[in-house]
């Protein structure tokens, strides 16, 4: 992995000229200076949320280049037999050759070029999506920014990889910094990059990275923010808005590999996390043990469904973290959330439009948005991340426990959150304690807190 010092000496000039920018379409703001990008993104958030919530100044990067710790490459064989690697042209599955990218980890790009150069000598065929013939479909590189560890994922259509030991040996000779190599088997006709089966060819099958002082395991399919520098900025702001004192119960929805929940665990009495992806849940449990976080529990379930079950049981929580996908949250989830009467909801959003929509719905349910902080997680692109604080409006007349309000709940009141595994199963344990968070907050504390963090 190239160090930040090495990256700063890369001779970056603005505006950056990318020969494939029009075909790729990933970096929509290449024609703007970085300061102009920040102004445009802050204005976008401010205008989208105008009349809804106060928008604070955006936080940008000091060095907004080569930040992506996850790099994906597709391959294509040209008519003359040459193999190229790169990205898909926007809106297509046509591979456009790209050996270097302004936003991708530089060493990851170099490893991909090395793999491409090794393919002919090992007679490894390139998968053809139309015919279904060929072996190598994709390469995925994941890098730990703090640790320097590198995970190489070879996505193939078959578990039979010719001369794999010699191939790995040749790759490691060129790149001894590689920590592990995994063969991911994707034998289906699908546009999805990864299949369900992983075969470890070298190393442990995962890498570790450090985020906000905590160690996290990253496996091929686990979600981990692609810009760790700005993720720390975003999460520290989220923790500040949460106002944790050590006495609170915390609920972390859409929890992934447990980053937010584990960071919050040091400052909370207990934390409950829910995530649908089973691979991510297993990584989250390992992460909790690695960080000695004994006050956190993980459940594999849909976040909205799980929260409904907890609300039906009368569970309450002090602080709710939510980090939904770009499409935003659902009315079912938000309605169940307010029935748990959190003092504070910390909403991490990657889409100002759906954030505005969800804030309006929360307002109807008696919660008001106090402030929103934009963070530039994806320089040179049109994407923007924000973190927003919502608090319960004590003067409201909403009865959040009424089953006649909001989306219908089809779950039986006798059905609690399901805990699928026993504690004897090690890393596959989703925790045996079927205990939802209890509310130990008071209305007076909420009055004292109201507005002080924004």
**Domain CATH for 355:** 3.40.50.150
In a domain? residue 218: yes
Of the three residues 225, 250, 267, the one that is the final residue of a domain is 225
Whole-Å CA distances, 193 to 128, 154, 453? 14, 11, 41
In a domain? residue 27: no
Do residue 143 and residue 291 come from a single domain? no
Do residue 287 and residue 358 come from a single domain? yes
- Given the residues 350, 371, 388, 454, the one annotated as active site: 350
Q: What CATH number should be reported for the domain holding residue 187?
A: 2.40.50.1070
pLDDT in tens, 155-180: 999 999 989 999 999 999 999 999 99
pLDDT tier, 23 (very low <50, low <70, confident <90, very high otherwise): confident
pLDDT in tens, 389-407: 999 986 444 444 444 344 4
In a domain? residue 250: yes
Do residue 396 and residue 344 come from a single domain? yes
Alpha-carbon distance of 164 to 197, in angstroms, equals: 17
In a domain? residue 119: yes
**Is the CB of residue 419 less than 8 Å from the CB of residue 431?**
yes
Do residue 120 and residue 269 come from a single domain? no
Strands laid side by side in the 136-143 sheet: 95-97, 83-88, 70-77, 136-143, 150-156, 178-185, 197-202
Do residue 245 and residue 300 come from a single domain? yes
pLDDT in tens, 256-314: 999 999 999 999 999 999 999 888 899 999 999 999 999 999 999 998 899 989 888 98
pTM for the model: 0.82
In a domain? residue 440: yes
pLDDT in tens, 60-99: 999 999 999 999 999 998 888 899 898 888 878 888 888 8
Do residue 256 and residue 207 come from a single domain? no
Of the three residues 192, 225, 258, the one that is the final residue of a domain is 225
Q: What percent of the chain has pLDDT over 70?
A: 83
350 catalytic residue (yes or no): yes
Do residue 246 and residue 151 come from a single domain? no
Q: How much is the average pLDDT of 208-237?
A: 94
- Given a cut of 90, whether residue 442 has pLDDT beyond it is no
| Torsion, Cα of 90, 93, 95, 98 (10° steps) | 40
In a domain? residue 11: no
Do residue 99 and residue 176 come from a single domain? yes
In a domain? residue 282: yes
| Torsion, Cα of 83, 16, 146, 88 (10° steps) | -30
In terms of Cα–Cα distance, which of 192, 96, 99, 100 is closest to 138?
A: 192
Beta bridge partners, 273, equal 252, 298
Alpha-carbon distance of 262 to 294, in angstroms, equals: 10
The average confidence (pLDDT) of the chain is: 85
Of the three residues 208, 225, 242, the one that is the final residue of a domain is 225
**Is the CB of residue 168 less than 8 Å from the CB of residue 181?**
yes
Which residue range is the domain that position 79 belongs to? 68-225
Do residue 437 and residue 303 come from a single domain? yes
- What is the number of structural domains in the chain? 2
């Amino acid at each position: 992995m190239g160090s930040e010092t090495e990256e700063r000496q890369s001779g970056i000039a603005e505006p950056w000229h990318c020969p494939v920018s029009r075909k790729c379409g990933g970096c929509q703001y290449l024609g703007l200076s970085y300061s102009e990008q920040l102004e445009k993104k802050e204005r976008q958030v401010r205008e989208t949320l105008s009349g809804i919530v106060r928008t604070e100044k955006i936080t940008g990067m000091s060095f907004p280049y080569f930040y992506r710790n996850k790099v994906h490459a597709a391959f294509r064989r040209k008519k003359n037999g040459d193999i190229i690697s790169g990205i898909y042209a926007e809106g297509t599955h046509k591979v456009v050759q790209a050996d270097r990218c302004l936003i991708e980890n530089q060493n990851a790009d170099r490893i991909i070029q090395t793999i491409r150069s090794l393919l002919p000598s090992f007679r490894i065929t390139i998968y053809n999506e139309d015919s279904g013939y060929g072996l190598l479909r994709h390469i995925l590189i994941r890098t730990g920014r703090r640790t320097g560890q590198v995970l190489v994922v070879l996505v193939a259509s078959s578990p039979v990889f010719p001369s794999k030991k010699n191939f790995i040996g040749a790759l490691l000779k060129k790149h001894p910094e590689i920590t592990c190599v995994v063969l991911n088997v994707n034998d289906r006709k699908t546009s999805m990059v990864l299949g369900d089966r992983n075969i470890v060819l070298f190393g442990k099958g995962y890498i570790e990275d450090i985020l906000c002082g905590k160690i996290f395991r990253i496996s091929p399919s686990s979600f981990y923010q692609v810009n760790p520098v700005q993720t720390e900025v975003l999460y520290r702001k989220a923790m500040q808005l949460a106002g944790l004192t050590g006495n609170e119960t915390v609920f972390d929805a859409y929890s992934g590999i447990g980053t937010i929940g584990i960071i919050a665990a040091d400052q909370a009495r207990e934390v409950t996390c829910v995530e649908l992806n089973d691979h991510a849940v297993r990584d989250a449990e390992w992460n909790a043990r690695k960080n000695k976080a004994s006050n956190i529990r993980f459940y594999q379930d849909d976040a909205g469904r799980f929260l409904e079950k907890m609300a039906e049981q009368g569970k309450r929580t002090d602080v709710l973290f939510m980090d939904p996908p770009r499409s935003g949250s659902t009315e079912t989830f938000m309605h169940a959330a307010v029935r748990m009467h959190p003092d504070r909801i910390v909403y991490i959003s990657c889409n100002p439009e759906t954030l505005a929509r969800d804030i309006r719905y929360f307002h109807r349910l008696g919660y008001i948005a106090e402030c929103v902080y934009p963070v530039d997680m994806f320089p040179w692109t049109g994407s923007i991340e924000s973190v927003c604080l919502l608090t319960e409006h004590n003067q409201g007349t909403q009865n959040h426990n009424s089953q006649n309000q909001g989306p219908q709940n089809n779950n039986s009141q006798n059905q609690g959150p399901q805990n699928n595994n026993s504690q004897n199963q090690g890393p596959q344990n989703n925790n045996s304690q079927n205990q939802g968070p209890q509310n130990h907050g008071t209305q007076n504390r909420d009055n004292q807190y109201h507005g002080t963090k924004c």
